[in-house]
A and B are shown apart, each in its own frame.
Chain A
Amino acid sequence: MSDAPVPARQPTDWKTQAMQRRIRRRYAAERRFRLMGLAAIVISAGFLAFLLVTMLGGGLRGFTRTEIALPIDFTKAAMIVDPDVIAGGGDVADRALANAGLPRVTRDAADQAFGPGAERWLSDGAWLSVRDAIKADPALLNKRAVIDVPASTDIDSAAKGDPSPAATTALAKLRGADAIHTGFNTAFLSEADATDPTVVGIWGALKGSLLTMFVTLLLAFPVGVFAALYLEEYAPRNRWTDLIEVSINNLAAVPSIIFGLLGLAVFLNTFHLPRSAPVVGGLTLALMTMPVIVIAGRNAIKSVPPSIRDAALGIGASPIQVVFHHVLPLALPGILTGTIIGMARALGETAPLLMIGMRAFIATPPSGLTDPATVLPVQIFLWSDEVSHGFVEKTSAAIIVLLVVLLTMNGLAIYLRNKFETRW
C-alpha cells in the first residue's frame, strides 16, 4: 500500500455565488416549513373556533327559558283536591294531582289573566310547573298564587329576539303586565326528554351516558390492563403473541357500527339482555374501548425502564411483586390517559348504540342499569330530527353539554398525567 499524499483541503468559500444561492435556498426551505406548520395550526384552530362560535351562538339560548308569571286563584278554580292528601305526599298525592284537571285550570287562569286566547301563550307543559308548585306547598290550594310557568315556543323565541307577528303583540301585552321574564333554565339540566321543547331536559340522556360509561369502564379497564400486563410481562415471544398483537391493533381500527351489530347479535339476540339498556350499551362500548386501553397500556408498561424490574428482582421480589409494586404504579398515568381518551371516544359514539335500541323516546331518566335509556349523542341526533323549531336551540345546547363533559374528561386525563408522571 502506498501512502498517497492527501491533497490539502480547500476551505469552503462561503462567498461564492453558488454557495450563497445554496444557503438562501436552505433558509427559504426552513421558512416554508415553519409557515406550513403555522398554517396547519391556524386552520385547525379556525375550525375549532368556528365550531365553538356557532355552537355557543345557537346553544346558549337553549339554556334559558321564558317564563310567564301566571296568577291562579285556586279557591275559585274548577278542581277538587284535598290539601291534606297532597300534604301526605307519596303516590296517592301524585295520583290525586295528576287527575285533578290541572291542565284545564292552568289554561283557564291564563285566559282570565291576559284575555281570551292567552292559553296558547303557555307551553303544553305549563301545568307541570303548577303541579310541582302545589306539591312543594299544598297551602297554595287555599289561596291565590302567582306561579312561574314556561311560555310557548313562539313566545319564547320572540322574547329571545326572533319574533313572529302573532307573538309580538302577545309579548308586548305580557311585557306591559310585567308578567314575563327570561332566565336560566334549571329544568333543562334536571329533566328528561319531552315532546315540547320548552320543557325538555338533558338529564335523562346525561344519566344514561354516565351509566353506560360506568359499565364500559368497569369492564374495559381491568380486562384491558390485565391483557396489557400479560402481553408485556409474561407472554412468550412467539407466533401466537404476534397474532394476538396484530388482532388487537386491528380491533382498535374496526368501525364502531360493527360493534353495534355484534352487540345486537350477541347481547340481545343470544343472551336476551333488555333492549335499550345502559348495561348492553356499556358492554358494546367496552368491546370497542378495550383494544385502545390495551394498546395505551402496553406502551406505558414498555416505557418503564428495565433497570427498575432488574433492581426489584435483584433484591428478591417475586414477579408479581415487581408488577404490582413497581411496574404498574409507574405505568398507571400512561394507562389512565389512554383509558380516558378511549372513554371519551366511547362517550361520543352513536352508531353502535342505534343498533341496540338506545335511540328511544323516554320521558323519565333511567333509574338503573337495566332501565331503558338514551345517551347524549343519540339525544342530539333525536332532537335534530324533531318537527318543532324550538328544538334547534335545544340541540345546540345539548351539544354544548356533551362538549363540556368531554372537555372535563380530557382535562382529567391531563391532570392525572401531570400529577403522577415520573421522568427518568
Chain B
Amino acid sequence: MLRSFALLAVSALALAACNDQASTGGGARDQIRVVGSSTVYPFTQLVAEQFVNKNPGMKAPVIESTGTGGGMKLFCAGVGAQHPDIVNASRPMKASEYATCKANGAADVIEAQVGIDGIAFAEAKNGPRIALTTADIYKALAANPGGKPNAAKTWKDVNSALPAIPIQVYGPPSTSGTRDALAELILAKGCEETDAGAKALDSDAFDKRCKAVREDGAYVDAGENDNLIVQKLQANPNALGIFGYSYLEENANKLEGAPINGVAPTYDTIAGGSYPGARPLFIYVKKAHLDAIPGLRQFLAEYAASWGKDGPLVKRGLIAAPDAVLAHSAELLSNATPLDPSTLK
C-alpha cells in the first residue's frame, strides 16, 4: 500500500512539473485578464463569452469583479504578464490613479466609454411611493449637511412634504464605483443646491461637507451583493435601495423605481440624460499589452460590436451611449489612441 502511494505521489509530481513548464514557459500569458467594477462585470462577461464562441482557438478571458477602486490598483501596478490588460470602471479614472499607472510604466492607457448606467433609487412594490429631489437625498444621507452633523431621523425631517417614515437606505460600500457615483451625481448636486457656501470651499472641505455619507445607521452598507438589497427591500417596504439600473430592470416585478426631481429611472430617461443619476461606464486598456496579449484586439473589436442600441449588451441591462460617443470610443480603441492625462480629475 505504501509503495503504491509513493508511486502515485512521484508520478503526480512529475505530471505537475511538466504541466507547469508547458504553460508558464517564458512568463507570457495567452489569455486576456480583466479586473474592476462589478457594474461593468456582466457586460464584459458577455463580450468574453461571445469572444470565446467566435474564436475557437483562443483561451477564455479571465474576468474578475473587484470593484472599480480595487481594479485600478491592480491595473496600475505595472506592465507585463502578471498585470491585467483591461480594467472595468463605473467612473472615470482619477488623476491620482493615472499617476500610479504612469509611475509604474503604464502611461499609455486607452479610455473607451462602453455605455451608460443609472444609479437607481428603488423601493418595494408595496412601498410608500416616495418622490425625492437631489436636495432631499443630500439632506437625508450626507454626513454633514450644511456643515452640521446630520440629525434627520425621518423623511419628514428633511422635507415636510414627505411622509414621516424613518430614513433607511441600503446602498453600496465605499469601495464601489456606484457609491462614488452617488456622491458625485446626487449628493454633490444636492449640496450645491441647498448650501450656497459650499462652492467657495476648497476641494477637501467640499468633499467632507458634500460627499461624505452618514454612518449612524440610516445608510446601511449592503456590500457588493445587489441581490441582497433586493431581498432586504421586499422584507422592509419602508426602506429605499440604491443599485445599478440593470438590477431594477431585472427585478421590475418586485421593485419600483423612485423618481428623483420628478424623473423616474427608465431606459429612456437615463439614455436621454434627464435622470440625474446617470453615469458613464468605461473600460481602460493598456496600450503596451495590445500586441503582447493574443486576441486582445479582437476582444476590443467584439466589445465595440456589442455595445450598440440593438446589441446584446443592451439586452443584458446596459444603456447604450449616444451614437457619437460610441463611434468615438470605437475609434479610440481601433487607433489605440491613449487618453490625455490633462482631462482627468
Question: A-side interface residues toward B, CB under 8 Å?
Answer: 91, 94-95, 97-99, 124, 128, 164, 192, 194-195, 214-215, 218, 221-222, 268, 272, 274-276, 279, 324, 328-329, 332, 357, 359-364, 368-372, 384-389
Known: A362-B61, A370-B20, A370-B24; 5 extra A-B contacts, CB below 8 A, are: A128-B53, A272-B82, A357-B64, A361-B45, A361-B63
- The docked-state distance in angstroms from the alpha carbon of A361 to that of B33 is 10
List the B residue with the shortest CB-CB distance to A359: B64
Q: Which chain B residue lies CB-closest to A94?
A: B56
Whether B62 pairs with A362 at a CB distance below 8 angstroms is: yes
Bound Cα distance from A95 to B60, whole angstroms: 15
Interface stretch, picked from B9-17, B166-174, B177-185, is: B9-17
Contact residues in B for A329 (Cβ distance below 8 Å)? 1-2
**B9 contacts A363, CB within 8 Å?**
no
Cβ contact within 8 Å between A324 and B250: no
A405 to B53, CA, bound (A): 30
Least CB separation from B27: chain A residue:
A272
With both beta carbons as reference points, the residue of chain B lying nearest to A420 in the complex is identified as: B1
CA distance A329 to B82 in the complex (A): 44
Considering the complex, which residues of chain B in the window 14-66 have a beta carbon less than 8 Å from any beta carbon of chain A?
16, 19-20, 22-24, 27, 29, 31, 33, 41-42, 45-46, 48-49, 52-57, 59-65
Residues of A within 8 A of B1 (CB): 329, 332
Task: Give the number of chain B interface residues (Cβ < 8 Å).
Answer: 47
Question: Do residues A222 and B82 form an inter-chain contact, with CB atoms below 8 A?
Answer: no
Choose among A274, A360, A384 the residue that contacts B227 (Cβ–Cβ < 8 A): A384
Contact (Cβ within 8 A) B56 A91: yes
Given contacts A275-B33, A363-B52, A387-B246, contact A370 B23 (CB under 8 A): yes
User: Are A328 and B2 in touch, CB under 8 angstroms?
Assistant: yes
- For the complex, what is the distance from the CA of A317 to the CA of B16, rounded to whole Å? 36
Q: Decide yes or no whether B312 CB sits under 8 A from chain A.
A: yes
A313 to B29, CA, bound (A): 56
**Which residues of the partner chain A approach B117 to less than 8 Å between Cβ atoms?**
none
Which of A214, A215, A275, A387 is in CB contact (< 8 Å) with B250? A387
Determine whether the beta carbon of A276 is less than 8 Å from that of B62.
yes
Q: Is B208 an interface residue (CB 8 A)?
A: no
Tell me the bound Cα distance from A109 to B158 in angstroms: 57
19 contacts between A and B (CB under 8 A): A94-B56, A95-B56, A95-B57, A98-B53, A98-B55, A124-B315, A195-B46, A214-B16, A218-B12, A329-B1, A363-B48, A364-B60, A370-B23, A371-B23, A384-B225, A387-B42, A387-B226, A387-B247, A387-B317
Distance of B93 from chain A, by nearest CB (Å): 21
Residues of B within 8 A of A97 (CB): 56
For the complex, give the distance between the alpha carbons of A361 and B31 in Å: 13
Within the complex, the shortest CB–CB distance from A290 to chain B, in Å, comes to: 15
- Cα A98 to Cα B63 with chains together (Å): 22
Q: Are B227 and A363 interface neighbours, CB within 8 A?
A: no
Residues of A within 8 A of B312 (CB): 124
Candidates B16, B64, B250; contact of A360 at CB < 8 Å: B64
Q: A364-B52, A387-B42 are in contact. Are A91 and B57 (CB under 8 A)?
A: yes
Within 8 Å by CB of B65, from A194, A359, A369, A388, lies: A359
Q: Complex: how many Å from CA A277 to CA B23? A: 11
B-side contacts of A221, CB under 8 Å:
9
Contacts of B54 in A (CB 8 A): 98-99
Q: B316 at interface (Cβ–Cβ under 8 A)?
A: yes
8 closest pairs, A vs B, by CB?
A94-B56, A364-B60, A363-B60, A372-B62, A361-B63, A360-B64, A370-B23, A360-B62
In contact, B45 and A195 (Cβ under 8 angstroms): yes
Q: Is the interface of A mostly helix, strand, loop or mixed?
A: loop
Chain A residues positioned under 8 Å from B317 (CB to CB)? 387
CB distance from B241 to the nearest CB of A (A): 14
Are the CB atoms of A389 and B250 closer together than 8 Å? yes
Per-residue CB contact flags for chain B residues 131-151 toward chain A (1 = under 8 Å, else 0) read 000000000000000000000
Q: Who on chain A is nearest to B56 by CB?
A: A94
Interface pair B316/A195, CB less than 8 Å apart: yes
Cα A276 to Cα B82 with chains together (Å): 11
A218 touches B246 (CB 8 A): no
| B19 touching A370, Cβ below 8 Å | yes
Are A369's CB and B20's CB within 8 A?
A: yes
Residues of B within 8 A of A274 (CB): 24, 29, 82
Give min CB distance, A294 to chain B, whole Å: 17
A92 to chain B, nearest CB (A): 10
Alpha-carbon separation in the docked complex, A283 to B81 (Å): 21
- Which residues from chain B contact A192 at a C-beta distance below 8 Å? 60
Contact of A195 with B82 at beta-carbon distance under 8 Å, contacts A218-B9, A360-B64, A364-B59 already known? no
Question: Which of A95, A98, A329, A361 is the most central at the interface, judged by chain B CB atoms within 10 Å of its CB?
Answer: A361
User: Which chain B residues border A276 with CB–CB below 8 Å?
Assistant: 62, 64
Q: What is the minimal beta-carbon distance from A334 to any residue of chain B, in angstroms? A: 14
Nearest Cβ on chain B to A397's Cβ, whole angstroms: 17
B9 near A222 with CB under 8 A, answer yes
Of the candidates B22, B23, B63, B227, the one whose C-beta lies within 8 Å of that of A385 is B227
Restricting to B309-323, which residues have a CB under 8 Å from any CB of A? 312, 315-317
Docked complex Cα distance between A357 and B284 (Å): 20
Q: Which residues of A contact B316 (CB under 8 A)?
A: 195, 387
Among B23, B27, B48, B317, residue most surrounded by chain A Cβ atoms (within 10 Å): B23
> A384 to B231, alpha carbons, bound, how many Å?
12
Cross-chain contact of B62 among A361, A369, A386, A389 (Cβ < 8 A): A361
The answer to whether B45 touches A324 (Cβ under 8 A) is no
Shortest C-beta distance, A360 to chain B (Å), equals 4
**B61-90 interface bits toward A, Cβ cutoff 8 Å, 1 = contact, 0 = none:** 111110000000000000000100000000
